[in-house]
Structure 1
Amino acid sequence: MESILSKSKVEVNGNLYLKEPFTSDLGAEIVRKGCKLIHELGVEQFTFKKLATEIGSTEAAIYRYFENKHKLLLYLTAWYWGWMEINLVYATANLTDPGERLGVALKLMVDGPIFTKNEYLNPLVLRSLVVNESLKGYLTKAVDDEHESGIFAQVYKFGERISSIIQEINPYYEYPKTLVSTVMESSLLQSFNSLHLPGMTERSIDSLGRYQFFHQLVINAITNEK
């Protein structure tokens, strides 16, 4: 399975780029090295000038693919959520019990992708980038226009798949999308806090502890509405 998925390419909304990067070696290098540099430097310190030096090209060449570093960050974030959706589909394909599928979905949100090899982008580096940088891409004045352009489709689709599982378990629960988006964002924040702001969480909490916390939170929310 992993060998098949390793060749899978995530289709990202065309409004995020000027030229599809994986149509050329240079474009692929821009995305891969851009992901690595944003992960290492943070989006605030990352520049196209630094990326151009890293790949031995020019800033002008990078601007032919991406309008700015904000769009590159959103592209990488969209790629991550698209990869997470692929993980969810394949990891739950043979599970008939919606409770088991919900457990897999929660595990994905807490720990990141199950399938960690891909020829296009490194899912583990993407996961770290999303934990540390992705919210900086959403909390902007331009978010309403970006929403209208459809560039958040990947995160919506991933969330909707999990919402549908919750509705299988309890079709009367009124807030499946709100609950899922809360867990999606909070699981990233708690991963961030455990690394950088340990005073915001229990020092003893680990991946299993975070999973148990969110599992309890979700199950209590949806079963109390029956």
Structure 2
Amino acid sequence: MEVHDNLYLKEPFSSELGSSIVQEGAVLIRNLGMEHFTFKKLAVNIGVTEAAVYRYFENKHMLLLYLTAWYWAWMEVNYVYATANLESSKARLSIAMKLMVNGPVFTRNVHINPEDLRNIVVNESLKGYLTKTVDVEHESGIFAQVYNFGERISELIFEINPSYLYPKTLAFTIMESSLLHAFNAKHLPDMTEQSLDSENRLLFFEDLIIKAISNE
């Protein structure tokens, strides 16, 4: 797995310490949330100095963006393997929708627990984007993994209906909305129908995207 090198100061998986920082950091962010997570708590948890953590990541914001980038890179791997033998654009889009709504189908990885990443992306990832530094971060290329996955979805939409004017906008709207709806279903249930579990969320987004493409 590769993510943009502007996300870190030192490649985390180049050492045992870096691996521990990412792995234990993901667990702490999942359990505490970004508001209560600190590098000091992480350092104590893995038995190193706080300065050692800062040798790998500039701050906790960059660690969050790193984990988010890793998630979308892992999602792209899932998509590539799950659709390798499918020629139909609609069939590949169906797989992509399932990934977006339910998360990765391959839930084991030797580096980071994909289920932890899914939890972090649903609950914390927007906190990494809605900042004053987002324009600079965009220019630095650190959102490449998010863009790569979204481009694959927009290409599918274009294949199905080349006359549809907004394939990229629709693709990224579905990506973001699928995460927001997963959050709302658990934490803000009055914002959704009570029946909107993962299966019905998938039906909702499939209905949304197919009607949008068909009605152009």
| TM-score interval, normalised by the smaller of the two chains | over 0.9
Match of 1:62 in 2: 53
Determine which of 14, 20, 28 is the counterpart of 2:11: 20
Distance 1:29 1:195 in 2: 29
Match of 2:159 in 1: 168
**4+ residue runs over 4 A deviation:** none
CA deviation map 1:138-165 (0-9, x unaligned): 0000000000000000000000011111
CA deviation map 1:78-103 (0-9, x unaligned): 00000000001110010111111000
Distance 2:53 2:78 in 1: 30
Distance 2:94 2:195 in 1: 22
Determine which of 196, 199, 205 is the counterpart of 1:208: 199
Match of 2:66 in 1: 75
Determine which of 121, 125, 138 is the counterpart of 2:129: 138
Match of 2:181 in 1: 190
Match of 1:4 in 2: none
Match of 1:6 in 2: none
CA deviation map 1:182-208 (0-9, x unaligned): 011100000000110000001121111
The correspondence of residues 122-133 of structure 1 with structure 2, limited to 5 A, is 122-133=113-124
CA-based RMSD:
0.5
Distance 1:157 1:204 in 2: 32
Match of 1:3 in 2: none
What secondary structure does 1:38 align onto? helix
The one-letter amino acid of 1:81's match is W
What secondary structure does 1:72 align onto? helix
How many pairs are equivalent? Answer: 216
Tell me by how many angstroms 1:209 deviates: 0.2
Distance 1:87 1:174 in 2: 27
**Alignment TM-score, normalising by the size of structure 1:** 0.95
Match of 1:177 in 2: 168
Which residues of structure 1 form unaligned runs of 5+? 1-9
Determine which of 209, 218, 222 is the counterpart of 2:209: 218
**Alignment TM-score, normalising by the size of structure 2:** 0.99
Percent same amino acid among aligned pairs?
69
Which residues of structure 2 form unaligned runs of 5+? none
Distance 2:18 2:3 in 1: 14
Tell me by how many angstroms 1:69 deviates: 0.1
Distance 1:59 1:157 in 2: 33
Distance 2:142 2:131 in 1: 14
Tell me by how many angstroms 1:57 deviates: 0.5
